[in-house]
Amino acid sequence: MTTHESANSALIDRFGRQVNYVRLSVTDRCDFRCVYCMAEDMTFLPRQQILTLEELYDVARAFVSLGVKKIRLTGGEPLVRKNILSLIERLGQLEGLDELVLTTNGSQLPKMAKDLKAFGVKRINISLDSLDPVRFRELTRTGDLSNVIAGIDAARDAGFERIKINAVIMRGRNEDEVLNLVNFARERKLDLSFIEEMPLGNITEHDRQLAFISSSELRDIISATFPLHPVVNDASTYTGGPSEYYSMSDSAVQLGFISPHSHNFCHLCNRVRVTVEGRLLLCLGNEHSVDLKEILRAHPGDSQLLKQSIREAMNLKPERHYFSLEDEPQIVRFMNMTGG
C-alpha cells in the first residue's frame, strides 16, 4: 500500500483520535484463574463461537491495511491457544505492522520464548502479582511461581527488545510486595507497571472497593526507598498507552502506573480491542461494538467489506469511559473475554 492510500484509509474517530493499535484476544481460556480476572469455575466458549486462526489473521491484516502499526495478542492466555505459534509466525510477516507484542502470564514461556522472538514478537508483557509462591498460588488459584520465573528468564535469554512485568496491586492481598517487585525488576532490568484493579465482571473473592489502592499511594510507598522522577513524554515518545512512567536515578528501569480510576487517559486513546468472539470493541469501559465474526462468516474472503465495516465502526467509539467502584459493574464481561 502507498503512504497516500494508508493516509486516506486511516482509522479516525469522531473526536479526531487515530486508532493505530489493536489488542486482539486469541482465546478466552487460561491455565490460571486469577482472582481479579476470572471466577473459579469458568465456562469457556464453544470452539465455533471463537474466531479461527485464519479469521484472526484476516482481521489483523485488515487493520494493518487501515494503518494499524501495533498489534497486541492477549486473552485469556494467548499462549495456550492451540497452534498459536503458526498465527504469530504469519502476523510477524505482515508488511506495515511495526510492532507485534504479547501479554502473557508467562507459564508457556520456558518452551515458547525462543520461537516467539524468532517469529517477530518484539516486546512482551508478563503478569506477576506476587513473589511469594504460596500467595502466587492463591492469587492465580492454579499458577506455579517457579515456572513463571523460569518463563521470565527464558524471555530474557531470548533477547526481546523490552520485557515488562505487569502487577495488579490489591490492598490486603499484595500491597506489601510492592517494593519486592520493584527490587525484582531492578535486579533483572525489567520494566514494571502497576495496574489498578478494574471492575470487569462480578467476582466474589474480595471486595474491589476495599481492595482498591491508588497509583499515587503506590508511588508514595516506592518513593520512600527509591525517589521517583516523572518521565515526560513528548509527542515523539508518547506511545498512547495509559501508563504514567517514572524513573529512578540509579537504574534504567522504568516504573509505570496504570490508573483507570484516578487518571483519565481517554482523550489520548489510540486503541481498540477485538474480543475472542470477533466483537470489535471500541472502548474497554463501554459496550459499543461491531460483530466482525458475523461479517467474516457471512461474506468469506470479502476483505473490502471487512475494512469498510472497521472504518465505519470508528463512528461508534465513545469519548470516554466511566469506571465506578461504588456501583455494580457496568461491564459484566470478564477481562479474559475482552483481552486485557
The item of ligand SAM, ligand SF4, none sharing an interface with residue 197, based on CB under 5 to 8 Å by kind, is ligand SAM
Shortest Å distance, C-beta 49 to ligand SF4: 18
Angle ∠(77,133,123) on CA atoms, nearest 5: 40
What minimum distance in Å lies between the beta carbon of 278 and ligand SF4? 18
Cα 186 to Cα 180: distance, rounded to the nearest angstrom? 10
Fill in the per-residue mask, 60 to 89: x = in contact with ligand SF4 (CB under 6 A), - = not in contact. ---------------xxx------------
DSSP reduced 3-state for 220: helix
CA distance 106 to 100: 17
Considering the rule CB under 6 A, would residue 38 count as an interface residue with ligand SF4?
yes
Q: Which does 166 bind (CB under 5 to 8 A by kind): ligand SAM, ligand SF4, none?
A: ligand SAM
Lay out the site mask for ligand SF4 across 108-147 (x = CB under 6 A, - = otherwise).
Answer: -------------------x--------------------
Residue of 25, 65, 105, 243 interacting with ligand SF4 (CB under 6 A): 105
Q: Which stretch binds ligand SAM (CB under 6 A): 197-205, 244-252, 263-271, 299-307?
A: 197-205
Helices (H), the chain: 3-8, 53-65, 84-91, 109-118, 133-140, 145-158, 178-188, 208-211, 215-223, 292-298, 303-313, 335-338
Q: Residue 145 CB, nearest distance to ligand SF4 (Å)?
A: 13
Instruction: Report the DSSP beta bridge partners of residue 74.
Output: 25
Among candidates 219, 265, 209, 271, which has minimal Cα distance to 242?
265
